[in-house]
């Protein structure tokens, strides 16, 4: 199903994956009114097929779905093509669980959510993936940052640990680059949310924890230090 209002060639294309018709309808209506082109899938397998066929700019993905769940959709879609994913979770504790699993979603919104919040999060996520890397644009920092065993190449958006390339999602890279530019400094979750996720409010700080956890899993546990009650810091040892 495709719903489109005044869609231009530049309208961002959103794939909504939601099996509850009432929620799906409400989200589609609002996104179309906001100028997005929207495709809808109501189960896991259809979501994967539509992501392939429609090449959306962003996916809004419910977790509990018929067929297979949103985590599996996220895995299968990301294996083919890097696309930002905003997950819809049923409860705060479901968000906690997903954060713990570090599934690689770029952001989470807990039901019930306001349409206004959802649209704001979608716009923030699209802005973030569409803007050039700050280092590449103005080069105020050396393009390759070396921190202990770590090499962060801002221009190529590549990361090596001990000379071995590590594959990161775009959000994971942005978070690491932000910590690397501020090496040694403790950055609060609120600052990271603003710098990396482009949010001014700090209501969703667990998304930061989720991505730190994913980075530690990929880069090793020794580089990003937790400063309890404050935030995170990237140190060379
Ligand atoms: Ca559901």
- CB-based burial of residue 234 (10 Å sphere; 0-12 exposed, 13-18 middle, 19+ buried)? buried
Spatial CB neighbours of 222, under 8 Å, sequence gap ≥ 6: 237
**Reduced to 3 states, what is the DSSP secondary structure of residue 3?**
strand
Cα 185 to ligand 1 centroid, rounded to whole Å: 41
Question: What pLDDT, in 10s, does the model give residues 28-37?
Answer: 999 999 999 9
* Centre of ligand 1 from the C-alpha of residue 61, in Å: 9
Tens of pLDDT, residues 165-220 = 998 888 899 999 999 999 999 999 999 998 898 876 656 677 888 889 889 999 99
Instruction: Report the separation in Å between the CA atom of 73 and the middle of ligand 1, taken as the mean of its atom positions.
Output: 13
Look up the pTM and report it: 0.75
Q: What is the pLDDT of residues 64-114, one digit of tens each?
A: 999 999 999 998 998 888 899 999 988 877 776 776 677 778 888 889 999
CA of 45 to the centre of ligand 1 (A): 14
Neighbours of ion ligand 1 (CB under 5 A): 19, 62, 64
31, burial (CB in 10 Å: exposed 0-12, middle 13-18, buried 19+): buried
Structural domains in the chain, sorted by start: 2-129 (3.40.50.2300), 144-234 (1.10.10.10)
Q: Which long-range contacts (CB under 8 A, 24 or more apart) does 89-93 make?
A: 89/63, 90/63, 90/64
Tokens in use for 59?
């996916």
Which sign does the torsion angle of CA 114, 116, 119, 125 carry?
negative
Residue 21 CA to ligand 1 centre (angstroms):
10
Q: How far is the CA of 103 from the centre of ligand 1 (A)?
A: 17
């Amino acid at each position: 199903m495709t719903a489109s209002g005044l869609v231009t060639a530049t309208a961002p294309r959103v794939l909504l994956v939601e099996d509850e018709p009432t929620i799906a309808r409400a989200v589609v209506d609002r996104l179309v009114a906001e100028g997005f082109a929207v495709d809808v899938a109501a189960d896991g397998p259809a979501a994967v097929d539509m992501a392939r066929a429609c090449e959306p700019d962003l996916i809004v993905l419910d977790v509990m779905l018929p067929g297979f769940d949103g985590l599996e959709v996220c895995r299968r879609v990301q294996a083919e093509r890097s696309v930002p994913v905003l997950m819809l979770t049923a409860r705060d504790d479901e968000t906690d669980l997903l954060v713990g699993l570090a599934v690689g979603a770029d952001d989470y919104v807990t039901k019930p959510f306001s349409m206004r919040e959802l649209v704001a999060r979608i716009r923030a996520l699209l802005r973030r993936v569409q803007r050039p890397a700050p280092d590449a644009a103005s080069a105020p920092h050396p393009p390759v940052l070396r921190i202990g065993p770590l090499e962060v190449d801002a221009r190529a958006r590549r990361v090596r640990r001990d000379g071995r390339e590590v594959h990161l999602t775009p959000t994971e890279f942005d978070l690491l680059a932000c910590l690397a530019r501020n090496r040694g400094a403790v950055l609060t979750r609120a600052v990271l949310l603003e710098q990396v996720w482009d949010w001014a409010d700090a209501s969703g700080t667990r998304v930061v924890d989720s991505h730190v956890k994913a980075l530690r899993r990929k880069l090793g546990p020794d580089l990003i230090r937790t400063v309890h009650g404050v935030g995170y810091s990237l140190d060379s040892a």
